[in-house]
Each structure stands twice: as C-alpha cells, then as structure tokens.
Amino acid sequence: MIDNACEWGASTLLIFSENVGALVYYTHIFPLVISLFLGFQVLINNPKGRSNRVLFLLTFVFSIWVYFDLILWASPTPESVMFFWSAIVPIEMFMYLLAAYLVYLFAHEQVDAPTWKKFAFSVFLLPIFLFAHTSLNVIGLSPDCDTGAFEGILIQYMYAAEIVIIGFIAYYLLKGIRRIKDTANRKRHIYISTATLVFLCFFTAGNLTLSFDLGPFYEQYKLFGMPIFATIVSYSIIKLATFRVKALLTGVLISALWILIFSMLLFSDIAYARPVILITVIAFGIIGAQLSRSMRKETQQREQIEKLATNLEKANARLKALDHQKSEFVSIASHQLRSPLTAIRGYASLLLEGSFGQIPQKAMEPLGRIDESSKLMALAIEDYLNVSRIESGNMKYNLADFNLVKEVEHVTDDLRSDAMKKGLVLYFKKSLHHQGVIHADIGKTIQIIHNLINNSVKYTQTGTITVLVRDDMRKKKIFVDIIDTGIGMSEETLNAIFHKFERARNANSVNATGTGLGLYVAAKMAEAMGGGITAHSDGDGKGSRFTLEMPLAM
C-alpha cells in the first residue's frame, strides 16, 4: 500500500493543485459554472415547474460529477481515488436518467411519467447500487498517475446503459415531434431534447475514448456538451419562454458565459488550447450578440404588449360598466314611456270607437294616425325592453310541451290578410314524420314566428311567401322555413342581420319601418330555448329564407 498514488502535494478544497494543468480546470470549471448558473436561474424563476426542478437537479448532479472528477485529478490519495472513482458511477447513471426524464416531460407537454415507468427506468441503477462498493466497479488502484485506477465490468455496463438511454431519448424526441400539436410546445421540445442529446453524446463519446484507450486528453472535451446544452436552452428561453424564465436574466447568462470563456485566454500556460478557446470566444460572441439583440427586442415587445393588455383591461371594465348603465337606462326609459303610451293608445281607441260621442269626420284620420303610430311605438318599446331583459339575463321562459305546427299555422293565418293587402300570396305547407311537439315557451315561440313572417311580408313587394314546417327524425329537430321572393340580402347583410340595430342595406327601398332589434331578439330567444335561427339568400333581389330550428320533444 502506498500513501499517495502520485506523490503530489496537498490540494486546496480537494480540487486546486499545482500539479493539475490549466486545461483540466478550463474543461471542468467552465461547464460547472455554466450548468449551476443555468440550473439556479431556471429554478428561481419558476420553482414549482416540474421540468424546472428536473433541469436544476440535472445541472446540480452534473456539477457534483465535475467536482468529484476534479478531486480525482487533484487529490490522488489511494482512498480518495478509489472512493470518488466508485462514487462517480451512480452519479453519472443518475444524470443520464434525469436527462431522459427531462426529455420525457417535454415530449409529453409537462405531464408527469407514471410511477411504474420511473421504477422501470430506475432498474438501470440497480446493479450499480448493489455493486458500486465492490471491485466489480473499480478493480483496484494503479500506480500510474495517468490511469489512476482500473475500471471494472460495472463501469462497462454503465457505458452500455448510457447508450441505451440515449436511444430512449432519441425515441422520445421523435415521439414528441409526432404527437405535440401546439407549435410552440413542439419547438420547445425539439430545442430541449436536441440540447440534451448533444450534451449526453459528448459525454458518452468522451467515455468511449477511455474504453478505446485514446488517453485522457480527448476525454477532457466530453464536458463541452454542457456549454452547448446551456446555449441551446438559453436560446429556447429567449425565443419561446421555455421554463417560463424571464429573458432579462438570460442576457446576464450570455454575458457571464462570454466573460468566462474570454478569461480563459488569459491563462499563460494553456497555449496549446488557445486556438480552441479563441474559436469558442468568437463563435459565442457572435451568437451571444445575436441573442442579446433578439432578447432586448422581444423584451420591449413583451413590455409593450403587457402595457396594452393592462390598458385594454381597464377600458374593457369601463365599457362594461357603461354598457350596464346604458341597459339600465333603456330599461327604465322604456318602462316610463310605456305607461303614458298605454293611455294614449287606450283613449285613441275609445275615441275612434265613439265612446266619447260622435267624432267629426275631419278628426277621424288624425286619430287613426295617432292609434297606428302609438301601436308602432309600443312595438318598438317592447323590443327595447326585450333587449334589456336579454342582456341583463332577466328574460323569463315558461317552458311547456305544445304543438308547434298548429301555432305556426295560426300565425300564418293571422298574417295572411296583411300579405293579401300587399298583393302577396302566403302559403302554409308541412312535411312531417312527427306530431311536431316541442318543449319551449309558447308565447315567445309565437313571437319569433310572427316576427319572421312579418319581416317577409314587409320586405317582399311581389310574389309569394311560403311557410314550410318540416322535421328531421335523425337529428330530432323541427324546422320552420319562411321563404319569400322579396328584396333578398347580400353576403355582407347576411353576416350582420342578427346583430343589434342591423337592418338590410336595401331596407329603405321598400320603405319598411323597424328598429333593427326584431331578429336579434328572436335569435336570442330561440337560442335560450335550445334552438336557433339561420338566414340564407342568393343575393340582393333574389329572395330570402329564414329557418327556425327547435329540438323535438320526444
């Protein structure tokens, strides 16, 4: 037994020794700082995010690995070489499993893996837990300082398992690309999974250089996968807000990385590594500047959007309050107008009927106009009140079963005289496989039918109006079509006809009066009773078809 494997002097913090070359520190401390910086940044910004925690753990475990490896370089006492060389094995295996877990989370859009899958993947660790302390792991200490110790079959098993895990990660990468529908999530998955694959491939390639006895020089570069991983993750954070990290901190990360790489150039005893570092500085400088510019732009845009969103929110709240006040005003005003109007209508009617004695013939026409106008005004007020009730949610529906066919026929009969006055023919037709019973508010249904047929009469100058009642037993629905040969509607009018205060653009051509609320009220009432109204027209002058659709009471 020898006291010191390499007969080196004591080390500081187990890792700083004058016997260790600058390249070793560069290849170790640089990835370690980057990995810890990235891990903490991601964790601090969203400590509850599952993938944030996994990424932090991955970077933390990686840092422990790097620290242990540095100990092996700087403190080669026999027991520390044997212990840290052996202890690094479960750490390395765990790091690969964490990387696989991270990719799994992104492939499944942050949905956690079932516990059985976690147990199944942990089986990779079982031989290592069982034999890590035995000579199957590290066979024994070598007197050669370059080799340190001889690796056993357990380490070869770990290298093989790492390749299998890389295979699983590649599988989850492809699976995620296929299954994720959301574009941003798919991009996030591609960035993080690719970064993880690059990181692990570097690591495994470095391990294999040892297995193929290429010496410790190439193995040093296996940790370079971490800066590449950190760069891709940072880019993903800036571009896609992955891990929900603020872009501002990413800028700090980029600057820190660049300063760190640049500082390595100042080491005087690493002349042989200087070209590699110089290329890294230039490449990272270009990428970093690009990232910083993109980050600043996006941060400004985000701030502007947030400001606009806040203003919009305030404006929306104000508009809602105003809309509520307006509805209340309309409701109160309509109620106030209705009472005196009822009196006007009543007295005009009594005067016309001669209840107050004989009225001179000269006064009969003005009285008739008063009666007619007050009727129109009452209808308009009723429309305003209905809109007010609908918008405040106070419209009451007394639902009951009734025969829609009979009611439609009655309304058609009532309006036939109005149609005939205009020289129109109003037909009623039916094509039914069912009695036509529906469960709805009979008064409001009649109001809807009346409104639709009345509209057709108003907007048709010549020709016919056909009211067709039909049913569809497969859909369990009944339809009332009102088809006319009237002024028709353009595509533009069709899109707006069910909005408040909207009337057909060519309405004035037939001199029809109206508030533009009738169809809005009818459509809202039909929807509230489980039905709906649709409109169709081939264009101006080509007639219209309005269809009321209601579910059948089966």
Partner 1 sequence: MSESQKKNSWIFYVVLLTLFLLSFSATYLNLYVNKNFKTFTAEESAPKPLDFYLHANTAEL
Least distance to partner 1 from the beta carbon of 130, Å?
8
Q: Is 153 in the site for partner 1 (CB under 8 A)?
A: yes
Q: Which of residues 104-123 bind partner 1 (CB under 8 A)?
A: 112, 114-115, 118-119, 122
Is residue 428 a contact point for partner 1 (CB under 8 A)? no
Residue placing its CB nearer to partner 1 in the complex, 8 or 347: 8
Question: Closest CB to partner 1 among 82 and 529?
Answer: 82
Residue 189 contacts residue 107 (beta carbons within 8 Å): yes
Contact 455, 520 (CB under 8 A): no
Q: Quick one: which of 19, 46, 60, 78 contacts partner 1 (CB under 8 A)? A: 78
| Interface with partner 1 in residues 195-214 (CB under 8 A) | 211-213
| Chosen residue from 87, 100, 103, 405 binding partner 1 by CB under 8 A | 87
Identify which of 422, 411, 409 has the alpha carbon closest to the alpha carbon of residue 462: 422
Mark 9-48 with x for binding to partner 1 (rule: CB under 8 A) and - for no binding.
----------------------------------------
Residue from 47, 143, 167, 539 touching partner 1 (CB under 8 A): that is: 143
Q: Looking at beta carbons only, is 102 or 411 nearer to partner 1?
A: 102
Cβ proximity to partner 1, 116 vs 356, nearer residue: 116
Stretch that binds partner 1, among 138-146, 387-395, 416-424, 513-521 (CB under 8 A): 138-146
Write the binding mask 474 to 513 for partner 1: x where contact by CB under 8 A, - elsewhere.
Answer: ----------------------------------------
35, 75, 80, 193: which one contacts partner 1 (CB under 8 A)?
A: 80
C-alpha span between 260 and 270 (Å, rounded): 15
In DSSP notation, 280-329 reads HHHHHHHHHHHHHHHHHHHHHHHHHHHHHHHHHHHHHHHHHHHHHHHHHH
* Best CA proximity match to 498, nearest among 454, 451, 464: 451
Both tokens of residue 78? 């026999």
Spatial distance between the Cα atoms of 21 and 220, rounded to a whole number of angstroms: 11
| 262: Cβ contacts below 8 Å, ≥ 6 apart | 281
Cα 69–Cα 63–Cα 255 angle in degrees, nearest 5:
120
Task: Give the separation between CA 454 and CA 319, rounded to whole angstroms.
Answer: 35
Is position 347 an interface residue for partner 1 (rule: CB under 8 A)?
A: no
Which residue lies nearer to partner 1 by CB, 141 or 467? 141
Binding residue for partner 1 (CB under 8 A) from 17, 51, 75, 86?
86
Contacting partner 1 within 380-399 (CB under 8 A): none
| Stretch in the footprint of partner 1 (CB under 8 A) among 37-45, 63-71, 100-108, 141-149 | 141-149
Residue 169's identity, in one-letter code, is: I
- Rounded to 5 degrees, φ, ψ at 8 are -95, 165
List strand residue ranges (DSSP E) for 55-186, in order: 138-141, 149-151
Size of the site for partner 1 (CB under 8 A): 41
Cβ nearer to partner 1, comparing 5 with 489: 5
Q: Is 4 exposed, middle or buried (0-12, 13-18, 19+ CB in 10 A)?
A: middle
Residue 534's identity, in one-letter code, is: T
- Cβ atoms of 536 and 527 within 8 Å: the answer is no
Q: Interacting stretch for partner 1, rule CB under 8 A, among 142-150, 273-281, 397-405, 464-472?
A: 142-150
Structure tokens at 394: 């106070």
Closer residue to partner 1, CB minimum distance, 208 or 330: 208
Given 79, 313, 323, 538, the residue binding partner 1 (CB under 8 A): 79
Helices (H), 265-273: none
132 near partner 1, judged by CB under 8 A? yes
Integer Cα distance of 299 and 302 in angstroms: 5
What is the CA angle 470-474-479, rounded to 5? 25
Residue 3 interacts with partner 1 (CB under 8 A): yes or no? no
Tokens at 429, concatenated: 């037709």
Q: Which is nearer to partner 1, 139 or 379 (CB)?
A: 139
Task: State in angstroms the smallest separation of the CB of 136 from partner 1.
Answer: 7
Amino acid at residue number 349? S
Does 90 interact with partner 1 (rule: CB under 8 A)? yes
> Whole-angstrom Cα distance, residue 138 to residue 354?
120
Task: List phi, psi (to 5°) of 534.
Answer: -125, 155
* Residue whose token pair is 């260790």: 20
Please report how close the Cβ of residue 223 comes to partner 1 at its closest, in angstroms. Answer: 21
DSSP state of 113: P
Q: Which of 26, 34, 161 is nearest to 90 (CA)?
A: 161
The CB-of-88 to partner 1 minimum distance in angstroms stands at 10
- Rounded CA-CA distance 306/295 in Å is 16
Pairing of strands 149-151, 138-141: antiparallel
Using CB under 8 A, which residues numbered 213 to 232 contact partner 1?
213
Q: Whole-number minimum distance, CB 516 to partner 1, in Å?
A: 53
Nearest distance from C-beta of residue 142 to partner 1, angstroms: 5
- Segment interacting with partner 1, rule: CB under 8 A, options 14-22, 137-145, 307-315, 317-325: 137-145
Positions in the binding site for partner 1 (CB under 8 A): 1-2, 78-80, 82-83, 86-87, 90, 94, 112, 114-115, 118-119, 122, 125, 128-129, 132-136, 138-144, 147, 150-153, 156, 211-213
